[in-house]
């Protein structure tokens, strides 16, 4: 088994219309043994940019701290946040500096540039960048991810549609890969706000797959109303799901009352 597969894990990023989403699984293991089920591999670099690292966990942690250093220095010197393509090049140079004793990580940089257009860049362990316009996947379940992303992705997805697509993709792929899984973290960055959803028990995939019938919609409506104080007429299904997912504690109640 290669050292890149020792701890397991996957990272996936997808681009939509004026939005971008990045997701990682939460497994941290030592070969076949699962040590932690709460080890997300994403790092929020700036308000609009994320880096996800798959591969050897110690290098993931060290590189997160190393990039925090560089991003803070950049912000103080240039008095602005780093752009995603600049960050991608920084990550690439940092990895190539260790060309002959590399960090065993394969990162993905995903973010919105200053025009809020999506930017995704996947890399190998020595910094070769591939700037895909649609999606990018790395990790032990890379093949499965590419397989499921291909039919699920379409151009110009809205933020909620993108969220569904990326969640479906990562849940399905990690189900077919023994070295990754145990839930997913999806960071969905859009122009208007920053939606953040966390799903400790991998339930998002279930919710999205199953249909919601009329009875359950009412329950969700009630919760949404309580949470957001909007009138029932305003709340669409997508909003309910996004809202419910955002409030983690309530989410379990919602799911259990829906009988899922």
Partner 1 sequence: MARRYDARTTIFSPEGRLYQVEYAMEAISHAGTALGILATDGIVIAAEKKVTSKLLEQSVTSEKIYLLNSNVICGVAGITSDANILINVARRYAQQYLFSFDDDIPVEQLVQRLCDLKQGYTQYGGLRPFGVSFIYAGYDNYFGFQLYRSDPSGNYGGWKAACIGANNAGAQSLLKQDYKDDITLKEAKELAAKVLSKTMDSTTLNSEKRMYCLSGGRETVIASVIHRKIHFERFSTMWKCVVANPSLLFSYLVEFATIQLNAEGKVVYNLYKPDEIDALLKELNLGGNSTEEEAS
Question: Exactly one of 72, 130, 156, 236 binds partner 1 (CB under 8 A); which one?
Answer: 72
| Residues 94, 201: Cα–Cα separation, whole Å | 35
Q: Tell whether residue 100 is a contact of partner 1 (CB under 8 A).
A: no
Q: How far is CA 195 from CA 181, 190, 229, in A?
A: 22, 8, 18
Does residue 30 bind partner 1 (CB under 8 A)? no
Region 175-194 residues binding partner 1, contact defined as CB under 8 A:
none
Which of 207, 203, 170 is CA-nearest to residue 188?
170
Distance of CA 174 to the CA centre of its chain: 13
Contact 6, 27 (CB under 8 A): no
Which residues contact residue 206 at a Cβ distance below 8 angstroms, ignoring those fewer than 6 apart?
255, 260
Q: Does 114 bind partner 1 (CB under 8 A)?
A: no
Q: Which residue number, 79 or 249, has a Cβ lying nearer to partner 1?
A: 79
Of 65, 193, 229, 249, the one binding partner 1 (CB under 8 A) is 65
Q: Which of 3, 68, 93, 128 binds partner 1 (CB under 8 A)?
A: 68
Residue of 1, 33, 76, 101 that binds partner 1 (CB under 8 A): 76
Residue 101 interacts with partner 1 (CB under 8 A)?
no
φ and ψ at residue 115, rounded to 5 degrees: -95, 10
- Interface residues with partner 1 (CB under 8 A) are 65-66, 68-69, 72-73, 76-77, 79
């Amino acid at each position: 088994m290669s050292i890149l597969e020792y701890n397991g894990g996957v990272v996936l990023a997808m681009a939509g219309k004026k939005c971008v989403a990045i997701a990682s699984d939460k497994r941290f293991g030592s070969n076949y043994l699962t040590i932690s089920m709460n080890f997300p591999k994403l790092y929020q670099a700036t308000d609009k940019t994320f880096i996800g690292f798959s591969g050897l966990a110690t290098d993931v942690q060290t590189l997160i701290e190393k990039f925090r250093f560089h991003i803070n220095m950049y912000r103080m010197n240039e008095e602005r946040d780093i752009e995603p393509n600049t960050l991608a090049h920084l990550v690439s140079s940092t990895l190539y500096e260790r060309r002959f004793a590399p960090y065993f990580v394969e990162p993905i940089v995903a973010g919105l540039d200053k025009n809020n257009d999506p930017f995704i860049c996947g890399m190998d362990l020595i910094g070769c960048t591939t700037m895909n316009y649609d999606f990018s996947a790395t990790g032990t379940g890379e093949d499965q991810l590419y397989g499921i992303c291909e039919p699920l992705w379409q151009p110009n997805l809205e933020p909620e549609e993108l969220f569904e697509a990326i969640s479906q993709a990562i849940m399905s792929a990690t189900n077919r890969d023994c070295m990754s899984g145990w839930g997913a973290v999806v960071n969905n960055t859009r122009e208007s706000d920053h939606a953040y959803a966390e799903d400790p028990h991998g339930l998002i995939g279930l919710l999205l797959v199953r249909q919601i019938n009329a009875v359950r919609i009412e329950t969700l409506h009630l919760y949404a109303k309580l949470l957001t104080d909007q009138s029932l007429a305003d709340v669409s299904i997508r909003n309910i799901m996004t809202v419910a997912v955002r409030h983690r504690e309530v989410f379990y109640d919602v799911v259990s009352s829906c009988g899922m």
